[in-house]
Amino acid sequence: MKVLDLRCERGHQFEGWFSSEDDYQTQRAKRMLTCPVCDSLHVEKSLSAPYVAMKSNRQTEVRPRAVTEHTPQHAAVEPAQAVASSAQVAPSPEQQQALAALHAQWLAYSRAVLATAEDVGSDFADEARKIHEGQAPERLIHGQASMDEVVELLEEGVPVLPMAAQAKEPLQ
């Protein structure tokens, strides 16, 4: 099993589990990898945090995980600097619980929004503008929009929140 740190073009970081490097490359080539936050298909490996082995009877040992691909923005960073700047201790059980609680709240909120919002499909950008300008009744809507349309809406002052396309069910 190969666990990789992944990042989309919008900077969202997430983890991917693959049976092998070939499995990752195959899924990437077939555009099967998407960001769980914004549904972007532009997903790449990111620099991985080092593995931190914690033993109560030993000193903490830091071993960096192998990084086989660098993005252009990280190409100029010396490997020693990359390891030193990204060295982190694993989150405590309390921090993990707090993160899990926040994640559960986000999922519950997302499900509630999607359950009460009207699906306007590919007309999302136009309908959001109409609502914002008072030309359509104010209500919760969801649908599909390109990243360019989302950026335009935000620049126009229309409040929108990108969600994964498959966010209706199941939201993990």
What three-state secondary structure class fits 70? coil
What three-state secondary structure class fits 126? helix
pLDDT band at residue 149 under the 50/70/90 scheme: very high
2 burial class (0-12, 13-18, 19+ CB within 10 angstroms)? Answer: middle
Contact 153, 25 (CB under 8 A): no
State pLDDT tens for residues 58-115.
454 444 444 433 344 444 444 444 444 445 567 788 888 888 888 888 888 888 888 8
137 burial class (0-12, 13-18, 19+ CB within 10 angstroms)? Answer: exposed
Flag whether pLDDT at 32 surpasses 80.
yes
**Residue of 172, 167, 164, 170 lying closest to 40 (CA atoms):** 164
What pLDDT, on the 0 to 100 scale, is given for residue 8? 86
What three-state secondary structure class fits 45? strand
- Give me the percent of the chain exceeding a pLDDT of 90: 17
Flag whether pLDDT at 167 surpasses 60.
no
**Residue of 31, 24, 36, 12 lying closest to 66 (CA atoms):** 24
What pLDDT, on the 0 to 100 scale, is given for residue 55? 52
How many CB atoms are closer than 10 A to CB 28? 17
What pLDDT, on the 0 to 100 scale, is given for residue 77? 44
- CA 157 to chain CA mean position, Å: 24
Contact 45, 67 (CB under 8 A): yes
What three-state secondary structure class fits 171? coil
